[in-house]
């Protein structure tokens, strides 16, 4: 059976650099938990960490949507709904009938039933 790929959705941008770092840390903790469950996590926060200002934000947002399209599921980081980008990722996943989870426990149950 193929390994499931789970996209981690959550806020990246923040008012301060410290806030950005905290958002990255929260997402990477979720990603690590997903890896420990036996799935592969895509954590865009780590993929483009500290690239801000090098290209327009829209480049990153569109790239993230493409990663969602290629994922088997989405797992949301706490506070995801405060992020315009994460809300768009969840909306796209739902539009494509990609499962959306709000905890790694939900991901674990999904993996167990697959």
List the CATH number of the domain containing 56: 3.40.50.10400
Q: Can you say whether the dihedral through the CA atoms of 106, 62, 80, 28 is positive or negative?
A: positive
Q: What is the pLDDT of residue 86?
A: 96
* pLDDT in 10s for each residue of the chain, 114 residues: 799 999 999 999 999 999 999 999 999 999 999 999 999 999 999 988 888 788 998 898 899 999 999 999 999 999 999 999 999 999 999 999 999 999 999 999 999 997
Quote the CA–CA distance of 113 and 108 in Å, as a whole number.
9
Residue 49 confidence (pLDDT): 85
Domain boundaries, position 18? 5-113
Please state the domain count of the chain: 1
Look at residue 41 in the predicted model and tell me its pLDDT.
Answer: 98
pLDDT of residue 60: 87
Other C-beta atoms closer than 10 Å to the C-beta of 76 total 24
């Amino acid at each position: 059976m193929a390994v499931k790929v789970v996209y981690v959705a959550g806020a990246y941008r923040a008012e301060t650099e410290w806030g950005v770092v905290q958002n990255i840390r929260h997402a990477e903790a979720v990603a690590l938990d997903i890896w420990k469950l036996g799935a592969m996590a895509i954590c865009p926060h780590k993929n483009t960490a500290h690239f801000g200002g090098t290209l327009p934000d829209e480049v990153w947002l569109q790239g993230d949507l493409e990663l969602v399209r290629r994922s088997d599921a989405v797992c949301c980081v706490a506070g995801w709904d405060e992020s315009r980008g994460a809300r768009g990722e969840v909306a796209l996943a739902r539009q494509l009938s990609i499962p959306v989870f709000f905890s790694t426990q939900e991901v674990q149950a999904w993996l167990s039933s697959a």
